[in-house]
């Protein structure tokens, strides 16, 4: 996957602790990057109040294809797009790029189900968040 497929990017600064014994960013760390990028977008563009919103997204599924290693100290960028939006869930794709690279080092797919914070039951995606998701959606393309 290349950069042109992603409408929004956020910087990621690798940390010393991200590297594993083999000298590259450990696979579990990519999931942290993906989660951070998704939530950053929901906060910045969808107005999500992570502390007080009555509806929040729970990650219910995730996968990652590792294409080439990255390591500390590298500056990275994470691209984000929406693959599918349902009534109560959304499927994201996030990709990790080295600065200046056009091909992704890793590509992940994650599903959020939106839930009522008080009951933990699924609920429709709030309008403000849905609008933000639509701006980066490839749904139907």
Count of other CB atoms within 10 angstroms of residue 122: 15
What pLDDT score was predicted for residue 5? 95
What is the arithmetic mean of pLDDT over 8-14? 96
CB 107 within 8 A of CB 93: yes
Q: Cα 122–128–129 angle (5° rounding)?
A: 50
In tens, the pLDDT along 93-140 reads: 999 999 989 999 999 999 999 999 999 999 999 999 999 999 999 975
Domains annotated on the chain, with CATH: 3-135 (3.10.129.10)
Which pTM was predicted? Answer: 0.94
- What residue has token string 């100290």? 73
Q: Cα separation of 115 and 58, whole Å? A: 7
């Amino acid at each position: 996957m290349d950069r042109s497929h992603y409408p929004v990017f956020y910087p990621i600064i690798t940390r010393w602790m991200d590297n594993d014994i083999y000298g590259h960013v450990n696979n579990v760390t990519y999931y942290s990057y993906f989660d951070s990028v998704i939530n950053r977008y929901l906060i910045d563009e969808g107005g999500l109040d992570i502390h007080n919103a009555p509806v929040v997204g729970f990650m219910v599924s995730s996968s990652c294809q590792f294409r080439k290693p990255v390591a500390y100290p590298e500056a990275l960028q994470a691209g984000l797009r929406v693959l599918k939006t349902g009534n109560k869930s959304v499927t994201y794709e996030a990709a990790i790029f080295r600065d200046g690279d056009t091909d992704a080092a890793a590509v992940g797919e994650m599903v959020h189900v939106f839930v009522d914070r008080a009951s933990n039951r699924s609920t429709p995606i709030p309008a403000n968040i849905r609008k933000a998701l639509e701006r980066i959606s490839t749904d139907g393309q």
